[in-house]
Structure 1
């Protein structure tokens, strides 16, 4: 769709959406509300990762469902009212109030959209954006998410036994997870991204080049898995998925993002007795271990793909707290009684 350079003029036929507690659009809204075309144009012009684009699309559509104004007519008061709506009326699919982080996510999407809207010439460059005055909700400091040595040992035990295809694949997957890759990046790996020593790929989040050296034990598990596949007469090329799905609906296809999450949360987490186990907790653990080994944080960040030192410091906070409490008990001559943080 080609949009008019005048966003007010192009939106005269907008049909007001009915406000709902979930912020979902009706079928009529989806087909007749021209404001949605501006959302898609914004996302095409953005440099957002796929998951971020999906999130921003949901949040911007939520605003469209709540408001009946053209984008150029929205005021600061409207944004403030929308924030109040998010905090007081909007519910999750399970009927629970939105968490502050979710409210901030919606506001971030709007701020980013209006920044593009103005810079693209659809608003006066001297005008104050309607999102300028809105404030993000304050968030409590998150608990560290790194896994303790005991938890990692329990996880390893879960996949140690058995030599069938799933078990061999799971050990290779766990080997990669322990090197700090995001689930989306793991899913996108091809055989050609592994050279027998390291993983080389482009990170989905910012399209930066990643070069991740692998421990010998991890290389061995990946090699065993790939050799197992060759023995099943599979012809592997550089474009072949590195990890395959064993789901009954998608057997032999690329292991997807949701499949990795299911493996970690349902298979590893429940079997090892670790609540709220996610792929990202392995990423926290990897970052913390790099620093614990004495690697400079700048070099460690090149391995994890963190551009921000502040964000990276959050990842290693757990190890710092654990070391502090260990030092305390050693100083008073007692055995540590407090376990490492869990979330």
Structure 2
């Protein structure tokens, strides 16, 4: 017989408005809890949740054999909190009942390390994407869009019709909110150059055509997927530039920091990045502020230390 606990998880995910990657993450975390506990969802107690958190901290390991990070533990707690909130609203728990996840606390996260890319690093990245072959023109346009703070999953979903010559208009996959992201002139020029190349090859660029195509021999001409975007940044750009841990999300951090440096009001900046929470947005730019404070200190004492 099917495990009814798994059936409730499927029901929860079907009823949710979560992005596909978040759904996958929540499913994995809830399945981990099911493997750890033999209790039905309705019988789970606050003590069970506390014991599970202790298990995550003290016993659970990554594939590399390391203990879970505080962020990974918080991800598991978030999945459980979200599930039990739905479980109650769906009528499986009395609305007056105290949720078993009510008392569990998130792990404290350390101060964020700077995740933004420096001007020097960005210059190296731009120099690594050159050439006039189809894939080079695609990569220039792709980098131009990534540097405007879009999540990789949103970039993959873009169609030609989402670009109006000045801005990108699309629906964010994470929360299904409307997004309008204006583009710099150089970004517009790079997108136009890429689209013009495709037009010259007799491709009919209707509004529902993917904005970015794959040039992989197995999927050439199809939509560039989420994994393809990560490969472009982490492997191709990372290898060419020597910048470690280069991911699409680092461009998002860089864009958020840039908006603040430009003096754009935080509320307006968040409308461009899609951050609903001021607290989360502050975490994005705090690393930049710490780095700026360090630079100001060394400038004030007229000292330029060598990079380690």
TM band (smaller chain): over 0.9
Corresponding residue SS for 1:218: helix
Could you say which structure has the larger radius of gyration?
1
Q: Distance in 1 between matches of 2:38 and 2:267?
A: 48
Task: Name whichever of 181-190 and 246-255 sits farther off.
Answer: 246-255
- Equivalent in 140, 154, 170 of residue 124 of structure 2: 154
Deviations 1:226-247 (A, max 9, x none): 1111111211100000000112
5+ residue gaps, structure 2, are: none
Corresponding residue SS for 1:233: coil
Cα 1:318–1:91, aligned 2, differ >3 Å: closer, same or farther? closer
Task: Name whichever of 126-135 and 289-298 sits farther off.
Answer: 126-135
Query: Is residue 2:172 matched to residue 1:196?
Result: no
- Equivalent in 267, 282, 298 of residue 329 of structure 1: 298
**How many residues are matched?**
308
5+ residue gaps, structure 1, are: 1-12, 14-31
For 1:296, the equivalent position in structure 2 comes to 265
Structure-to-structure mapping, 1:245-284, within 5 angstroms: 245-284=214-253
Q: Distance in 1 between matches of 2:281 and 2:41?
A: 36
Task: Report the TM-score, using the length of structure 2 for normalisation.
Answer: 0.95
Structure-to-structure mapping, 1:14-25, within 5 angstroms: none
For 2:76, the equivalent position in structure 1 comes to 106
Cα 1:312–1:338, aligned 2, differ >3 Å: closer, same or farther? farther
Q: Distance in 2 between matches of 1:335 and 1:153?
A: 24
Structure-to-structure mapping, 1:1-343, within 5 angstroms: 32-160=2-130, 162-332=131-301, 334-337=302-305
Is the contact between residue 112 and residue 287 of structure 2 (CA under 8 Å) also seen in structure 1? no
Is the contact between residue 245 and residue 252 of structure 1 (CA under 8 Å) also seen in structure 2? yes
RMSD: 1.7
Is the contact between residue 264 and residue 279 of structure 1 (CA under 8 Å) also seen in structure 2? yes
Structure 1 residue 275: Cα displacement: 0.6
Task: Name whichever of 52-61 and 116-125 sits farther off.
Answer: 116-125
Structure 1 residue 203: Cα displacement: 0.8
Structure 1 residue 153: Cα displacement: 0.3
Q: Distance in 2 between matches of 1:74 and 1:210?
A: 39
Corresponding residue SS for 1:211: strand
Structure 1 residue 34: Cα displacement: 1.7
Is the contact between residue 291 and residue 297 of structure 1 (CA under 8 Å) also seen in structure 2? yes
Corresponding residue SS for 2:154: helix
Task: Name whichever of 318-327 and 269-278 sits farther off.
Answer: 318-327
Corresponding residue SS for 1:201: strand
Deviations 1:35-70 (A, max 9, x none): 111011111222222211111111111111121111
